[in-house]
Amino acid sequence: MSSLPDLIVEYDGEQRVLIATDALTFGRDASCDLVLDGADLGVSRIAGRLSATGSGWAVTNLSRKRPLHIVDPAGFGVPLPVAPQHGSPSRRSVDASPLTVLVVGEAWTYALILRLDPGDPTGDIFSPIDENRTRTQLPQLTDRRREVLVAMTAGYLRPYPYYDPRPRTYQEIADELKLAKSTVVKRIEQVRLDLVEAGVLGLEKELDARRALCEWLLATRVLTPADLEWLKVRRAAQDRS
């Protein structure tokens, strides 16, 4: 008998119950177990999969182009990034209940709500181990670098439904912090280069690495919603001085 609780998947008013031997794919392709919208080209053909691992349930991003977004019970959203080229798909353990999986399309943002079965006798003692936990490889941030990173990721740090998974532009950051745009670019680029040197994949710059950098900072909890309040207090102190 499996020690895992069943996983309840709620979407568009309907529920599916997965047991440990089940898996569920979702996306716009007709081959998916859960078809979100076959006409919405902003959704990947196979966007992701829900499945049991040795220690718990997991959400896997199967798209090669678009991140998924995982919202915890407190409303904090974290991107589940696209895997780097030739890398393994990124995965997030269902380590809280409920979790909301957002699939951002062109026509709509689709929400799958995941709940561990409260009626399962193993549910109260279930304590998943995140097999994909990532230790931060970022050297300690200076306050000057942190402030531009927090301003860049502000939309991601807001609670759902105010969550906005788009990085702010260099000019928007400069205007908010009253800095030169060149200063903002320099600070963000230095963080990116430090991470690349430390071996973090997916941050090699092609045109603009801001989105990938935001996703890495949030997925590894380098930045959290508490940083929004930190930035607010820091700016107020700067204004007073």
Q: How many domains does the chain have?
A: 2
Residues 101 and 185 in one domain: no
Residues 101 and 167 in one domain: no
Residues 31 and 74 in one domain: yes
Strand partners for 11: 14
Amino acid 78: pLDDT: 80
Residues 177 and 76 in one domain: no
H or E element that contains 79: strand 77-80
The gap from C-alpha 226 to its chain's centroid, in whole angstroms, comes to 16
Residue where a domain stops, chosen among 65, 97, 116 = 116
Residues 189 and 110 in one domain: no
Amino acid 126: pLDDT: 39
Query: CA angle at residue 95 from 89 to 98, to 5 degrees?
Result: 105
Q: What's the one-letter identity of residue 62?
A: L
Q: Per-residue pLDDT for the chain (241 aa), expressed as one digit of tens each?
A: 457 899 999 999 999 999 999 999 999 999 999 999 989 999 999 999 999 987 799 999 999 888 898 888 878 788 888 877 777 888 889 988 899 999 988 888 899 999 998 775 444 433 444 434 443 445 578 999 999 999 999 999 998 888 888 899 999 999 999 999 999 999 999 999 988 877 676 777 767 889 888 888 887 778 889 999 999 999 999 888 8
Query: Is residue 122 in some structural domain?
Result: no
Q: From CA 216, how far away is CA 219, in angstroms rounded?
A: 5
Residues 19 and 100 in one domain: yes
Amino acid 34: pLDDT: 97
Cβ(91)–Cβ(69) under 8 Å? no
Extract the tokens encoding 42. 């902003």
Query: Is residue 127 in some structural domain?
Result: no
Beta-carbon contacts of 183 under 8 Å, excluding residues fewer than 6 positions away, are 174
Query: Is residue 107 in some structural domain?
Result: yes
Query: Is residue 1 in some structural domain?
Result: no
What percentage of residues in the chain have a pLDDT greater than 70? 88
The gap from C-alpha 110 to its chain's centroid, in whole angstroms, comes to 15
Query: Is residue 189 in some structural domain?
Result: yes
Instruction: Determine how β-strand 34-35 pairs with β-strand 23-27.
Output: parallel
**Structural domain harbouring 230:** 143-240
CATH number, domain containing residue 94: 2.60.200.20
Q: From CA 107, how far away is CA 120, in angstroms rounded?
A: 37
Amino acid 222: pLDDT: 84
Q: From CA 131, how far away is CA 23, in angstroms rounded?
A: 18
Residues 55 and 99 in one domain: yes
The gap from C-alpha 66 to its chain's centroid, in whole angstroms, comes to 11
Task: Concatenate the DSSP letters of all residues of 128-188 into one string.
Answer: ---TT-----PPPPPHHHHHHHHHHTHHHHSPTTS----PPPHHHHHHHHT--HHHHHHHH
Residues 102 and 171 in one domain: no
Residues 182 and 228 in one domain: yes
* Angle between the N-to-C axes of helices 143-152 and 181-197, in degrees from 0 to 180, rounded to the nearest 10: 100
Query: Is residue 134 in some structural domain?
Result: no
H or E element that contains 228: helix 226-240
